[in-house]
């Protein structure tokens, strides 16, 4: 198949990844290309050239851009970039478009394309994307939820056609049967208020374990006010690490702390830690309960560091081999990619049938032999 993949434009699709969506898009493109498909990635300038990228916009990463972004130049830059892209795609010969963007224009303009689009819902509803979906015509458009939780969140806006859980490259997160002799917990991800880094620190301090923190500082004001003052005395910020260094650090941990302060749509950090054999202690939000089992993680009351500390003390006793097995059964990127390929084929076949009907119209009925003409 000839597949166009639309990325979001806040950050380039390149290591070190700014977050889970960048890593997911990178992995999906690599998997599809490895399976023999001709894939073109439409992404921000600076994305990994090995992904066959056609840059459509300069980097638009500006701290604080969100649902109140209409007065920000990044909003207009993205709007123009996606408008140009959707116009250009009308003249391209792709079989299907896979939309990983968080912008409203690709879904709102999907019906202008000659090929079907599969649009993936990676977040809970927010105003701009919800508006685009409500204004779209769904005949040419299928929606995928990355978890049952996401599908339920969007249920009042649009029917989700399928749930396809995100996958990871299990080879990139190798199983570590033994933790580091010097015991520590790990927290990693984008350092922003909704990820709750400061709550992980408070929880770790209620355990006998050190805490190592990794990830990009995406909100400097939050880091300075809520995280930096808590560093030291066994709590270390390691920085934004390369993939290899990060995977090694994850694998050495006794447990991973996961502290979302919102309904986590999926939680790639959970899948990655499990693949390394690391049990999970997490706030019970969003889709996390879909990924872990009682043998691989412990859920805690949201926003409660003491409850999370108790969960961590239970998690460190769980079997690391069971964690890896759960990742292999539930989080394998090859399974995810196969599910998307099946959906692409279904949508391509449905589009071909619709085009055939449109070309030939309904079958003509013969005139009755005894019709009386006035």
Q: Which residues pair with 39 in a beta bridge?
A: 3
* Residues 6 or more apart in contact with residue 58 via CB below 8 angstroms: 44, 45, 77
Residue 67: its pLDDT value, please? 41
Q: What is the spatial distance between Cα 323 and Cα 344, in angstroms, rounded to a whole number?
A: 31
Q: Which residues pair with 281 in a beta bridge?
A: 257, 298
Share of the chain above pLDDT 70, in %: 91
pTM: predicted TM-score of the whole model, two decimal places: 0.83
Phi-psi region at 204: left, alpha or beta (left = phi > 0; alpha = psi -120 to 50): alpha
Cα(119)–Cα(108) distance, integer angstroms: 11
For the chain, give the mean pLDDT.
90
pLDDT by residue (tens digit) across 323-335?
Answer: 999 999 999 999 9
Residue 373: pLDDT over 80: no
Report the distance separating Cα 292 and Cα 282, nearest Å: 10
Question: What value does the mean pLDDT take over residues 47-74?
Answer: 67
Average pLDDT of the residues in 313-317: 98
Say if CB 51 and CB 12 are below 8 A apart. Answer: no
Higher model confidence: residue 208 or residue 365? 208
- Asked if the bond preceding 180 is cis, omega within 30° of 0, the reply is no
Write down the pLDDT at residue 370: 45
HSE at residue 363, side-chain half, CA atoms within 13 A, is 2
* Residue 359, Cβ density class (10 Å: 0-12 exposed, 13-18 middle, ≥19 buried): exposed
Q: In what order do the strands lie in the sheet with 117-121?
A: 53-57, 38-44, 2-6, 96-99, 117-121, 141-145, 162-163
User: In this predicted structure, which of 18-27, 62-71, 221-230, 329-338 has the lowest mean pLDDT?
Assistant: 62-71
The pLDDT value given to residue 305: 98
Residue 291 scores a pLDDT above 50: yes
pLDDT, average across residues 341-355: 91
């Amino acid at each position: 198949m000839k597949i166009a993949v639309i990325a979001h434009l806040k950050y380039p699709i390149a290591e070190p990844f700014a977050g889970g969506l960048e890593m997911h898009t990178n992995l999906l493109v690599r998997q599809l290309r490895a399976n023999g498909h001709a894939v073109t990635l439409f992404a921000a300038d600076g994305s990994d050239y090995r992904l066959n990228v056609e840059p459509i916009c300069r980097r638009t990463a500006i701290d604080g851009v969100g649902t109140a972004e209409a007065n920000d130049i990044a909003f207009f830059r993205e709007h123009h970039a996606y408008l140009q892209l959707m116009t250009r795609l009308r003249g391209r010969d792709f079989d299907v478009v896979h939309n990983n963007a968080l912008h409203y224009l690709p879904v709102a303009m999907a019906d202008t394309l000659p090929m079907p689009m599969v649009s993936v819902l990676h977040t809970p509803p927010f105003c701009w994307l919800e508006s685009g979906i409500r204004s779209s015509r769904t005949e040419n458009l299928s929606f995928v939820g990355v978890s049952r939780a996401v599908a339920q969140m969007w249920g009042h806006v649009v029917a989700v056609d399928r749930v396809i859980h995100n996958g990871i490259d299990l080879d990139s997160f190798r199983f570590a049967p033994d933790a580091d002799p010097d015991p520590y917990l790990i927290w990693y991800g984008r350092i922003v208020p909704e990820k709750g880094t400061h709550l992980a620190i408070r929880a770790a301090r209620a355990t006998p374990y050190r805490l190592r923190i990794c990830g990009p500082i995406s909100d400097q004001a939050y880091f300075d006010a809520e995280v930096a003052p808590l560093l030291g005395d066994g709590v270390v910020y390691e920085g934004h690490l390369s993939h290899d260094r990060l995977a090694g650090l994850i694998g050495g941990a006794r447990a991973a702390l996961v502290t979302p302060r919102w309904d986590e749509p999926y939680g790639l950090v959970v899948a990655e830690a499990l693949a390394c054999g690391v049990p999970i202690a997490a706030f019970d939000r969003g889709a996390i309960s879909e990924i872990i089992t009682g043998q691989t993680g412990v859920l805690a009351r949201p926003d409660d560091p003491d409850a999370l500390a108790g969960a961590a003390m239970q998690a460190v006793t769980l079997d690391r081999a069971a964690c890896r097995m759960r990742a292999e059964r539930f989080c394998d990127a090859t399974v995810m990619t196969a599910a998307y390929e099946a959906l692409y084929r279904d949508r391509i076949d449905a589009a071909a049938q619709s085009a055939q009907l449109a070309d030939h119209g309904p079958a003509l009925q013969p005139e009755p032999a005894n019709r009386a003409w006035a």
